[in-house]
Amino acid sequence: MKKEFYPPIKLGHGYCCLSQVELVINDSDAKKFYQERVMSYSRADQVSTMALVPMVVEQTSRGERAYDIYSRLLKERVIFLTGQVEDHMANLIVAQMLFLEAENPDKDISLYINSPGGVITAGMSIYDTMQFIKPDVITLCIGQACSMGAFLLTAGTKGKRFCLPNSRVMIHQPLGGYQGQVSDIEIHSKEIRNVKNRMNTLMAKHTGKALEEIEKDTERDYFLSAEESVNYGLVDQVLCTRETVSNLDEKADKKSKKSTK
C-alpha cells in the first residue's frame, strides 16, 4: 500500500488540502481509490461565501425584472455604507450619489451607515461629494458608526442626521503607521497632524462644539450612545419607529411648499 501526501492547493480564495490519499492496488487488478478532502477557509473567505445578496423580482408591463436588493433600494434613493471605508467602496458610493443627483437634484438621498471606520482619504472623497451635490443627504446610523463612519454620519444635512436607538458612535483621532528614513517619518508625522487638525475643524463645524472640546474628546476613543450622540451634536434625533420618519417627511413637505409659494 502506498501513501502520498500532497501540499495545500490554492483554489480561488481558499485552500483545499488532500490530507489523506490512499491508492490500493490488489492482485486482481481491481483498483480502490479513497480520499478525504479537508476544506479550510480563512474567516474572511467564509464571510464572503455566506454574504449572498437577495434578489427582488418586480412585475412590470414588460414582464418580470430581477434586481439585487441594494439596486432596488437605490431606486428609492437609499445608499448603504457598510463595513470598512476603503477606496473601492468609496468610489461606488460617490458614483451612486452622482447618479441620484443627475436623476433628481431636488430629492433627498438617504445614506445608511454601519461602519467601524477605515481609510481617511477614501472617507473624505465621500464627505466632499456629500457637500458638493445639490440634494440633501440624510444620514442614519444602524449598528455602529465609528471613526470615519462617525465623521460621515455627522456630515449629513443638518436636521436630517439620525441614529437608531441601540446604535453606537465612536470618535477618535486619525491612526497611522509608517516606516523608512527619519526624514520620511517626520514628513508623514506632519501630514497626519494636518489631517487631524482638518478633521477636528470640520467636526467642530458640523457639531457646533468648540474646537478645543473636539480636540480633547478625540484624543482617545470616545464612545457615545444614540442619545449621547444627539446631545453632542453628531446627530439630530433618535428614530424609534417608522412613524417618526413619516412625521419628519410631512414637515419637510410642508416647509418646501411654503418656500415655493
The residues annotated with a catalytic role in the active site are 147, 172
CB neighbour list of residue 88: distance below 8 Å, 6 or more residues apart: none
What's the angle, vertex CA 143, arms to CA 141 and CA 148, rounded to 5? 60
Output the nine-digit C-alpha cell for 1.
500500500
Angstrom distance (rounded) from CA 4 to CA 18: 10
Q: Give the type of residue at 142.
A: I
102 and 129 Cβ atoms separated by less than 8 Å: no
CB atoms within 10 A of CB 212: 10
39 and 51 Cβ atoms separated by less than 8 Å: no
